[in-house]
Amino acid sequence: MNPTDTSRRSFLQTTALAAAAIPLGARGKDVTTDKIKIGLIGCGGRGSGAAAQALTADSNSVLVAMGDVFPEQIEKSVEVIGAQFKDKPGRVSVADDKKFVGLDAYQKVLASDVDLVCIAAPGGFRPLHLKAAIEAGKHVFCEKPMGVCPAGVRSVMESVKLAKEKKLAIRAGFSMRFEPAYREAMQRIHDGQIGDVVAIYSTRMGSPLTRFDGVRKEGMGDLEWQLRNWHYFSWLSGDYIMEITVHSVDKIAWAMKDVPPVKCIGSGARMQIKLGDVWDQFDVTYEWENGTIAVLKTRYQDGCTNDHSDMIIGTKGRCILSGYNAKILGANPWRYEGPKLSSHQVEHDELFAELRAGKIPNDGDRMAQSTLMGIMGRMSAYTGKEVTWEKALASKLDTMPKNLSWDMKLPVGEVPVAGRTPLI
């Protein structure tokens, strides 16, 4: 069988597409045939990449509106995306009055004449932006994580429900689900090639992020300083386990057929990071009702051995995922030999192809569950307490500050200390 065919079948089975004709919008828009107008919320590196990939996915699409809290981010993004499409005039067509700046920029993007919006502002804002996008009747590409606290995830779940009712697409930025090697491997796992899954060992260990220097210029307010260094503040990024390692959490969930764990116990530390309130190391063990466990190890420190891989252990063998490769060892050995493609591009290619075919993909349920899995692991590590799925889902923890303004006082949160930080 062609590996691509297997991967395609896996996608259709695991993302539970709601195939239904896309209705005409209030403006008579039919995205099966008409030009698709794209808006971008959050113009950093990932947002710029997502917008460019959306444009690449469909030749009859155009970027028409952009929003960010900082004007220089928009200009840099326009330059980067424009350079990629310099030989295709008209694909990046963002007029000056469609470059929206400020804390309400997302609202202005959504009020523009856009059909699909790419949401890529820091994770703490995504529940708010997703809610507004669905209420505005827009199809959505939403980067991961989709939230950074239980209150945010519950909001996401409500937005997912509304999107289904309004027949709006949601494509999740959990790009590993679109990696050809991983797709075929997961299909084989789900088909029983390694027997019953009994344990998973997943790692994401690398050097610290160096995008932000933490410098606070004279006159810079609390909010601006934190937004310009958002990786280091848990209310914005959800900590490293959410901003980066949540991809590994999502692969664990995928291997377990998106059945959530019953509980987890975590630990971690803050060893080298000096800015903000985040940690740079986490170890979390998840447990399922059938006794299967998954061990997640993540660390972002200099001078250490790095590893980014996943091992899914079954009763008849084990599957190893690493880079663009996948293999199975044991009674039914196999090694992926198919194409190596950009999973970031594939997720957009398939989103636009499905929209053009009159289908509405909605990754919302699984994206919310994977996000909550990451959050419950962080909650356990921060507090030193066991956290059940029910506790995480019902938790009153809400880390998003209220009534954001540029002149507000926004002190840095206390660095969590296991055993002393309360479980909310």
Q: pLDDT grade, residue 28 (50/70/90)?
A: low
Residues 341-388 have pLDDT tens digits of 999 999 999 999 999 999 999 999 999 999 999 999 999 999 999 999
* Average pLDDT over every residue of 49-73: 98
Tallying the residues shown for the chain, one arrives at 424
Its pTM stands at 0.92
DSSP readout, 54-94? HHHH-TTEEEEEEEESSHHHHHHHHHHHHHHTTTSTTSB--
Q: pLDDT grade, residue 338 (50/70/90)?
A: very high
- Evaluate whether 135 touches 382 at the Cβ level (below 8 Å): no
* Average pLDDT over every residue of 173-184: 98
pLDDT at 29: 73
According to the CATH classification, is domain 3-176 in 3.40.50.720? yes
CATH architecture, domain 182-337+364-394: 2-Layer Sandwich (3.30)
* Average pLDDT over every residue of 247-262: 98
pLDDT at 380: 98
Residues 266-301 have pLDDT tens digits of 999 999 999 999 999 999 999 999 999 999 999 999
- Evaluate whether 418 touches 381 at the Cβ level (below 8 Å): yes
Residues 96-147 have pLDDT tens digits of 999 999 999 999 999 999 999 999 999 999 999 999 999 999 999 999 999 9
Map out the domains of the chain as residue ranges: 3-176, 182-337+364-394
pLDDT at 27: 43
Ranking 137-151, 204-218, 246-260, 281-295 by mean pLDDT, the lowest is: 204-218
Between 407 and 31, name the one with better pLDDT.
407
Task: Put residue 171 in one of left, alpha, beta given phi > 0 → left and psi -120 to 50 → alpha.
Answer: beta
